[in-house]
Protein backbone atom coordinates (compact mmCIF):
# COMPACT_ATOMS: atom_id res chain seq x y z
CA UNK A 1 0.00 0.00 0.00
CA UNK A 2 1.22 3.51 -0.76
CA UNK A 3 1.09 6.42 1.66
CA UNK A 4 0.01 9.81 0.35
CA UNK A 5 0.51 13.17 1.93
CA UNK A 6 -1.25 16.34 0.84
CA UNK A 7 -2.89 19.49 2.15
CA UNK A 8 -6.59 20.24 2.16
CA UNK A 9 -8.46 23.48 2.62
CA UNK A 10 -9.97 23.65 6.10
CA UNK A 11 -13.52 23.40 4.73
CA UNK A 12 -12.74 20.04 3.14
CA UNK A 13 -10.91 18.81 6.22
CA UNK A 14 -13.92 19.80 8.35
CA UNK A 15 -16.23 17.91 5.99
CA UNK A 16 -14.15 14.74 6.29
CA UNK A 17 -14.02 15.09 10.08
CA UNK A 18 -17.83 15.47 10.18
CA UNK A 19 -18.26 12.30 8.13
CA UNK A 20 -15.97 10.45 10.53
CA UNK A 21 -17.81 11.88 13.58
CA UNK A 22 -21.12 10.72 12.10
CA UNK A 23 -19.72 7.20 11.94
CA UNK A 24 -19.73 6.98 8.16
CA UNK A 25 -15.97 6.34 8.02
CA UNK A 26 -13.29 5.09 10.39
CA UNK A 27 -10.74 7.72 9.37
CA UNK A 28 -9.74 10.08 6.54
CA UNK A 29 -8.08 7.25 4.62
CA UNK A 30 -11.29 5.22 4.74
CA UNK A 31 -13.22 8.23 3.41
CA UNK A 32 -10.76 8.80 0.56
CA UNK A 33 -10.68 5.12 -0.42
CA UNK A 34 -14.49 5.08 -0.59
CA UNK A 35 -14.53 8.29 -2.61
CA UNK A 36 -12.02 6.88 -5.10
CA UNK A 37 -13.92 3.58 -5.41
CA UNK A 38 -17.17 5.43 -6.08
CA UNK A 39 -15.55 7.74 -8.62
CA UNK A 40 -13.97 4.78 -10.38
CA UNK A 41 -17.28 2.89 -10.53
CA UNK A 42 -19.02 6.00 -11.87
CA UNK A 43 -16.35 6.42 -14.57
CA UNK A 44 -16.79 2.78 -15.58
CA UNK A 45 -20.57 3.25 -15.78
CA UNK A 46 -20.17 6.37 -17.92
CA UNK A 47 -17.78 4.52 -20.25
CA UNK A 48 -20.24 1.63 -20.56
CA UNK A 49 -23.15 3.95 -21.40
CA UNK A 50 -21.03 5.85 -23.94
CA UNK A 51 -20.07 2.56 -25.59
CA UNK A 52 -23.74 1.54 -25.78
CA UNK A 53 -24.65 4.91 -27.31
CA UNK A 54 -21.89 4.52 -29.90
CA UNK A 55 -23.10 1.00 -30.67
CA UNK A 56 -26.64 2.27 -31.12
CA UNK A 57 -25.54 5.11 -33.37
CA UNK A 58 -23.40 2.73 -35.43
CA UNK A 59 -26.41 0.48 -36.01
CA UNK A 60 -28.09 3.24 -38.01
CA UNK A 61 -31.27 5.23 -37.80
CA UNK A 62 -34.81 4.34 -38.86
CA UNK A 63 -36.91 6.75 -40.86
CA UNK A 64 -40.21 5.54 -39.41
CA UNK A 65 -41.96 7.16 -36.48
CA UNK A 66 -41.48 5.42 -33.10
CA UNK A 67 -45.18 4.56 -32.87
CA UNK A 68 -45.06 2.85 -36.28
CA UNK A 69 -42.00 0.84 -35.26
CA UNK A 70 -43.70 -0.31 -32.06
CA UNK A 71 -46.85 -1.29 -33.97
CA UNK A 72 -44.71 -3.26 -36.44
CA UNK A 73 -42.94 -5.11 -33.62
CA UNK A 74 -46.28 -5.97 -31.99
CA UNK A 75 -47.68 -7.19 -35.31
CA UNK A 76 -44.63 -9.38 -35.93
CA UNK A 77 -44.90 -10.93 -32.46
CA UNK A 78 -48.59 -11.65 -32.97
CA UNK A 79 -47.87 -13.23 -36.36
CA UNK A 80 -45.24 -15.53 -34.82
CA UNK A 81 -47.67 -16.66 -32.14
CA UNK A 82 -50.17 -17.66 -34.79
pLDDT the model gives residue 1: 83
Please report, in tens digits, the pLDDT of each residue of the chain (82 residues total).
889 899 999 999 999 999 999 999 999 999 999 999 999 999 999 999 999 999 999 998 888 999 999 999 999 999 999 7
Q: What angle do CA 30, 35, 38 make, to 5 degrees?
A: 125
User: Is this structure's pTM higher than 0.85?
Assistant: no
Query: Side-chain half-sphere of 69: how many Cα atoms within 13 Å?
Result: 6
Residues 19/25, Cβ–Cβ less than 8 Å: yes
Residues 62/69, Cβ–Cβ less than 8 Å: yes
Residues 7/16, Cβ–Cβ less than 8 Å: no
Amino acid sequence: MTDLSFSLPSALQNWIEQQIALGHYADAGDYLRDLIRRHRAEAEDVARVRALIEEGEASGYLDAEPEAIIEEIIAERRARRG
